[in-house]
Amino acid sequence: AQSVTQLDSQVPVFEEAPVELRCNYSSSVSVYLFWYVQYPNQGLQLLLKYLSGSTLVKGINGFEAEFNKSQTSFHLRKPSVHISDTAEYFCAVTVMFSGGYNKLIFGAGTRLAVHP
Amino acid sequence: NAGVTQTPKFRVLKTGQSMTLLCAQDMNHEYMYWYRQDPGMGLRLIHYSVGEGTTAKGEVPDGYNVSRLKKQNFLLGLESAAPSQTSVYFCASSSTLYSSGQYNEQFFGPGTRLTVL
């Protein structure tokens, strides 16, 4: 069965420091990978996605992620975080089924807390 | 273009009461989904729909029913609410068109916070 593991439930970091949020997935079929961000009391917003092509994907707000097929990972990085990046981040994988149907499987989330 | 909207934003129910959550999207998406979000568990898929008149069970369908009578609307019903259904509910929709540039990207509504006493 497909699954997504976010290795850290909470990541505290100081402002302007770099951050990496780790995500591993398990799947024996082709996948599409996503990172979503959820600010307090809001819905989910897409940060970036990997469908195909370059394994380094750039998203909004200065975030980027690298797809590593051999390690089945899709870690999210930002070189310098801001207070406004404090939020919960979800890694997700779309798994395709026969007939073109797909499902999105989410990790449990990583809460990023940026401190001044 | 409002995207995905959800009604209501908040609701408090007593055990055994029923209610319907409404999700509407104006992006002409084929797929629609209902998730629940609980602390430490991420989002779990309740039911989904791949087109008008078609629905399917997700990971946690028990205690919920859905209907997709119109392409733009996806309703989630709780026939007899239980405290275990206290959660934040999110609706999402996605396009099946690879050429759209948004293939498989799910767009989320703002959520409905439901408390069952």
Residuewise pLDDT in 10s, chain A (116 residues): 678 999 999 999 999 999 999 999 987 666 789 999 999 888 899 999 998 888 899 999 999 999 998 899 999 999 999 999 999 999 998 876 655 566 788 999 999 999 99
Q: What is the pLDDT of residue A18?
A: 97
Number of A–B residue contacts, CB under 8 Å? 51
* Record: contact B40-A108, CB cut-off 8 A: yes
Which among A115, A110, A105, A116 is positioned nearest to A38, based on CA atoms?
A: A110
What is the phi/psi pair of residue A96, to 5°? -90, 140
Q: What is the pLDDT of residue A95?
A: 73
pLDDT digits (tens, 9 = 90+) for B77-93: 999 999 999 999 999 99
B10 and chain A in contact, CB less than 8 A: no
Enumerate the residues of chain A whose CB falls inside 8 A of the CB of residue B58: 103
Judge contact between B66 and B34, C-beta under 8 A: yes
* Record: contact A44-B33, CB cut-off 8 A: no
The pLDDT of B30-48, averaged and rounded, is 90
Residue B57 CB coordination number (10 Å): 13
Residue A81 CB coordination number (10 Å): 22
A5 and chain B in contact, CB less than 8 A: no
CA distance A12 to A33: 24
CA distance B82 to B63: 9
Enumerate the residues of chain B whose CB falls inside 8 A of the CB of residue A107: 42
